Structure 1
Amino acid sequence: MGGATTRKPRKERKENAERRRRQLLDAARRSILTHGLARTTLATVADEAGLSQGVAVFYFTSKGGLLTETLRDLYEGYESLWMRALEGAGEAPLDRLMALLAADFSAEACGPDVLPLWFAFWGELRFTGHYAEVAAEFDMRRHAALSGIWAALLPQSSQTEAEQLAEWMESLTDGYWQRLHLAPESYDRARALAASKVCLSRLVPDLLRAPTT
Structure 2
Amino acid sequence: MTNQQTAKPRKERKENADKRRQQLLDATWRSIAENGLSRTTLATVAAQAELSQGVAVFYFKSKAGLLTEALRDHYARYQANWERALSEAGSDPADRLIALIRADFDADICNPEALSIWYAFWGEQKFTPDYAQVTAEFDVARVEAMRAACAALMTSAPESEIIRTAEWIDTFSDGFWQRLHVLPSDYDAQRCLDETLQLAAHLIPQIADQLNGSGRR
TM-score band, normalised by shorter chain: over 0.9
Greater relative CO (CA pairs within 8 A, separation 6+)? 2
**Quick one: which amino acid aligns to residue 71 of structure 1?**
L
Shift of 1:68: 0.3
Normalised to the residue count of structure 2, the TM-score between the two structures is 0.91
The alpha-carbon deviation at position 6 of structure 1 amounts to 9.7
Residues 151 and 158, structure 1, Cα contact 8 Å, conserved in 2: no
Equivalences for residues 52-63 of structure 1 within 5 A: 52-63=52-63
Whether the 8 Å contact between 1:104 and 1:110 is mirrored in structure 2 is yes
How is 1:178-189 mapped onto 2 (pairs within 5 angstroms)?
178-189=178-189
Question: CA 1:53/1:153 → structure 2, altered by over 3 Å: closer, same or farther?
Answer: same
Deviation at 1:76, TM superposition (A): 0.2
**Displacement of 1:8 after TM fit?**
6.0
1:40-79 matches, within 5 Å, as: 40-79=40-79
In 1, Cα distance between equivalents of 2:9 and 2:197: 52
Give yes or no for contact 2:42–2:56 (8 Å, CA) kept in 1.
yes
1:18 corresponding residue in structure 2? 18
- CA distance in 2 between partners of 1:51 and 1:6 (Å): 24
Is 1:128 the counterpart of 2:128? The answer is: yes
Residue 207 of structure 2 aligns with which residue? Answer: 208
Q: Which runs of 5+ in 1 are unaligned?
A: none
**Superposition RMSD on alpha carbons, in Å?**
1.6
* Contact 2:169 2:199 (8 Å CA) reproduced: no
In structure 2, C-alpha distance between the alignment counterparts of 1:88 and 1:137, rounded to whole Å = 24
Give the aligned residue type for 2:191. R
Shift of 1:11: 1.1
Give the deviation of 1:184 after TM superposition.
1.0
Report Cα offsets for 1:47-100 as digits up to 9, x if no partner: 111111111010000000000000000000000000000000011111000011
Answer yes or no: is the 8 Å Cα contact 1:146–1:166 preserved in 2. Answer: yes
**1:95 maps to which residue?**
95
Q: Residue by residue, what CA displacement relative to the aligned partner does 1:163-207 show, whole Å, maximum 9, x if unpaired?
A: 211111110100000111111112111111111111222223x32
Name the count of aligned residue pairs.
208
User: 8 Å contact 1:180–1:187 — kept in the other structure?
Assistant: yes
2:148 corresponds to = 148
Q: Which runs of 5+ in 2 are unaligned?
A: none
Given that residues 150 and 166 in structure 1 are in contact (C-alpha distance below 8 angstroms), is that contact kept between their aligned partners in structure 2? yes
The corresponding residue for 2:195 is 195
* Distance in 2 separating the partners of 1:63 and 1:121: 14
Amino acid at match of 1:117: I
